[in-house]
Structure 1
Amino acid sequence: MIGRLRGVVIEKMPPQLVVDVNGVGYEVEAPMTTFYKLPHLGEEVMLFTHFVVREDAQLLYGFADRNERRLFRDLIKVNGVGPKLALTILSGIEATQFVRCVHDGDTNALVKLPGVGKKTAERLLVEMKDRLKDWNNAPEDFSLVMSDSDAPMPAANQTDNSLEEAEQALIALGYKPAQASKAINAVYESGMSTEDLIRHALKGMV
């Protein structure tokens, strides 16, 4: 089991990044809530991870803190929720918002997420309620290593194809191509980074 990675961010392709650990590049899938907090390329990062082994693949998922990883692990225990859907849920809604939805029995917010129908939303509320009873007592545990978490991405890290990259990221998270394109174009402004486009597009859809 790989429980934690500490290395240098060498690639960002939402929702995937590559972390170089002593010359070995680890491909990591991460929710967008973690992506927003990542340092710039070439800087050090530490992620809590969850390793999934399937017959056709070995997948590594990375998270900003233990609480986010814990929520991911609780989600994949729910019947009908796999790692991909759990990643989509955590990308489309903050962990604290999700917990609030569960406590309040709010299915309306959950069904707006791709792959979450009414039955799945109801199942999430029922199965997650007991698991999240002590959530408010869980300690804050942010472990990303960053030079300045609030600093905007510099122009050198922005690319001319940020629109395409943002659309592909939403599609990878489960949104339909037409839905992803519409959401991205609705919030696009010149100079926006891929991460900013995804952040604003997801907020507009929830």
Structure 2
Amino acid sequence: MIDFLRGTVAHRETEYVVLDVRGVGYRVFCANPFAVAPKDGKDGGEVTMYIHYQVREDAHLLFGFTSREEQSLFRLLLEVSGIGPKVAIGILAGGRPETIASAIRQENVAFLTKLPGIGKKTAQRMVLDLKDKLGAWTSADDDMAGAGFSLGDTASAPLGGGAWAEAKAALLALGYTEAEADRAGAAIKPKLQGGETTDAVTKLALQALFQQSMMR
């Protein structure tokens, strides 16, 4: 059983990173490959990914997470009928673990159905199956709910600040031009529901850039 891997990122794709661990390359599927980076931000530094190891008849797959909390929530999501590893990874790409956990505890089906691959019935199953298992989780989002805020009612941040500003900075750091980043922002703006993490916005922008490059 593999609990975690520590190494350097040798390659990235839209769904996975290749983690070089002492000369061996491990393909690790994750919520946002472009957010997997050393804590000090320096290229070539070591990263730690917490691993869920899945064995299938046709493949052995590694799913990686940047925190224990993310790993724990992923494994809980797999307990819900209709949610497999790829859907669970998509859910984690759509919001912070504590935000998702809070939505489940609050039975906020409207918020959960905004997550990738989740319909109303699956959202209801998530609440039924996991609500009582998330009692130990604490989150500032619960305090917001108690103050009269709803996770599902958060307005989308303008494309000049917040998560988009950080996502745009990440795109520029990856070598994209200002114009390319702005085009990606314009493309994804209609898809933003509010409350998305920087990781989620960055992944959407990268997907938009890839689609735009294929249309040239």
TM-score computed with the length of structure 2 as normaliser: 0.66
> 1:126 & 1:111 partners in 2: Cα distance?
15
Which blocks of at least 5 consecutive residues in structure 2 are unaligned? 140-165, 193-198, 208-216
Q: 1:81 to 1:185 in 2, by over 3 A?
A: closer
Q: Is contact 1:184-1:198 (8 Å) kept? A: no
How far apart are the structure 1 equivalents of 2:67 and 2:100?
16
1:60/1:47 CA distance change after superposition, 3 Å: same
Equivalent residue letter for 2:137: W
Given that 1:11 and 1:41 are in contact with CA atoms closer than 8 Å, whether structure 2 keeps it comes out as: no
Flag the 1:185–1:103 CA change in 2: closer, same or farther, 3 A. closer
CA distance in structure 1 between the partners assigned to 2:13 and 2:54 by the alignment: 20
Distance 1:9 1:155, change over 3 A: same
How far off is 1:3 after superposition? 0.8
- Distance in 2 (CA, whole Å) between partners of 1:8 and 1:35 is 13
The answer to whether 1:15 aligns with 2:32 is: no
Percent identity between the aligned chains? 37
For residues 76-133 of structure 1, the C-alpha deviation after alignment (integer angstroms, 9 at most, x for no partner) is 0111110011000000111111111111110111112232111000000110111111
Q: Does 1:27 align with 2:35?
A: no
Q: Is the counterpart of residue 6 in structure 1 residue 6 in structure 2?
A: yes
Q: Secondary structure at the match of 1:129?
A: helix
Q: How many pairs were matched up?
A: 167
- Give the aligned CA root-mean-square deviation in angstroms: 3.5
Q: Which one of the candidate residues 43, 65, 68 is aligned to 1:66?
A: 68
Find the residue that maps to 1:102 and give its secondary structure: helix
Within a 5 Å distance, the mapping from 1:125-204 to structure 2 comes to 125-136=127-138, 152-153=169-170, 157-159=174-176, 182-183=187-188, 197-198=202-203
CA gap 1:154/1:94 in 2 versus in 1, 3 angstroms: closer
Distance 1:43 1:71, change over 3 A: same
Q: Is the 8 A contact 1:50 1:62 kept in 2?
A: yes
Residues in 1 aligned to 2:58 and 2:189: alpha-carbon distance in whole angstroms: 32
Structure with bigger RCO (C-alpha 8 Å, 6+ apart): 1
Change (3 A) 1:69 1:109: same
Q: Which ranges of 4 or more aligned residues in structure 1 deviate by more than 6 Å? A: 184-187
Equivalent residue for 1:143? none
Q: 1:70 to 1:35 in 2, by over 3 A?
A: farther
* Partner amino acid, structure 2, of 1:3: D
Alignment partners' CA distance in 2, 1:95 and 1:28:
19
Q: 1:156 to 1:72 in 2, by over 3 A?
A: closer
Give the letter aligned to residue 67 of structure 1: E
Q: For 1:136, what is the secondary structure of its paired residue?
A: coil
Tell me, in whole angstroms, the C-alpha distance in 2 between the residues paired with 1:113 and 1:103. Answer: 16
Q: Is the 8 A contact 1:36 1:195 kept in 2?
A: no
Residue number in structure 2 paired with 1:174:
none
What stretches of structure 1 of length at least 5 have no aligned partner? 138-149, 168-180, 188-193
Residues 92 and 126 of structure 1, relative CA distance in 2, 3 Å threshold: same
> TM-score, normalised on structure 1?
0.69
